[in-house]
Amino acid sequence: MKMTFRWFGEKSDTVTLEQIRQIPGITGLMGFLDYKAAGEVWEKEEIEKYITPIHSAGLACEVIESVNVHEDIKMGINKRDEYIENYKTTIRNLASFGVKVIVYNFMPVLDWLRTDLSYLNPDDNSESMFYDEAELEGISPLELVKRTADGSKGFSMPGWEPERLKELETTLAHYADVTPDKLRENYKYFLDAIIPVCEECDIIMACHPDDPAWPIFGLPRIAHSFEDFEKIIKLHDSPRHSLCICSGSLGTNLSNNIPDIIVHFGGMGRIACLHIRNLKHMGYRRFRESSHLSSDGDLDMFAIVKAMYDTCPESYVRPDHGRMIWGETGRPGYGLYDRALGAAYLNGLYEAIEKQ
Ligand code: DNO
Query: DSSP of 289-350, one letter per residue?
Result: E--SSGGGSSS-HHHHHHHHHHH-TT-EEEE----B-TT--SSTT--SHHHHHHHHHHHHHH
* Residue 219 · residue 176 · CB < 8 Å: no
Ligand 1 pocket, residues with Cβ under 6 angstroms? 65-66, 103-105, 111-112, 158-159, 208, 246, 275, 333
| 70 belongs to the catalytic site | no
Q: What is the pLDDT of residue 172?
A: 84
Q: Is 30 exposed, middle or buried (0-12, 13-18, 19+ CB in 10 A)?
A: buried
Which residue CA neighbors atom 5 of ligand 1 most closely? Answer: 66
| Cα–Cα distance measured from residue 73 to residue 39, given in angstroms and rounded to the nearest whole number | 9
Q: What is the pLDDT of residue 222?
A: 98
Q: Distance from CA of residue 257 to its chain's centroid?
A: 19
Q: What is the pLDDT of residue 72?
A: 94
Among candidate residues 50, 87, 316, 334, the one labeled active-site is 334
| Cα–Cα distance measured from residue 14 to residue 114, given in angstroms and rounded to the nearest whole number | 21
Q: Distance from CA of residue 263 to its chain's centroid?
A: 20
pTM for this model (two decimals): 0.96
| Cα–Cα distance measured from residue 68 to residue 86, given in angstroms and rounded to the nearest whole number | 11
Q: What is the pLDDT of residue 258?
A: 98
Return the best residue to mutate from 36, 42, 110, 112 for the ligand 1 pocket (most ligand atoms within 8 A of CB).
112
Distance 355 CA to ligand 1 centre (A): 32
Which residue CA neighbors atom 9 of ligand 1 most closely? Answer: 158
**Edge-to-edge strands of the sheet including 116-121?**
116-121, 126-132, 286-289, 279-283
User: Residue 21's CB: how many other CB atoms inside 10 A?
Assistant: 14
Which residue CA neighbors atom 4 of ligand 1 most closely? Answer: 66
Distance 112 CA to ligand 1 centre (A): 7
Residue 23 CB partners (closer than 8 Å, separation 6+): 5, 340, 343, 344
Q: List, for the chain, all residue ranges whose pLDDT scores fall below the cut of 70.
A: 155-166
Q: What is the pLDDT of residue 289?
A: 98
Which H or E element spans position 207?
Answer: strand 204-207
For each of the domains in the chain, give its residue range(s) and CATH number, in order of start: 2-355 (3.20.20.150)
Phi (first) and psi of residue 84, to 5 degrees: -65, -40
| Cα–Cα distance measured from residue 280 to residue 294, given in angstroms and rounded to the nearest whole number | 10
Q: Could you give the C-alpha distances from 31 to 47, 274, 284, 341, in angstroms and in order? A: 10, 14, 34, 20
| Cα–Cα distance measured from residue 139 to residue 133, given in angstroms and rounded to the nearest whole number | 11
| Helix-strand-coil split of the chain, %, nearest 5 | 40, 15, 40
* Residue 288 · residue 338 · CB < 8 Å: no
Q: Name the amino acid, one letter, at 140.
A: S
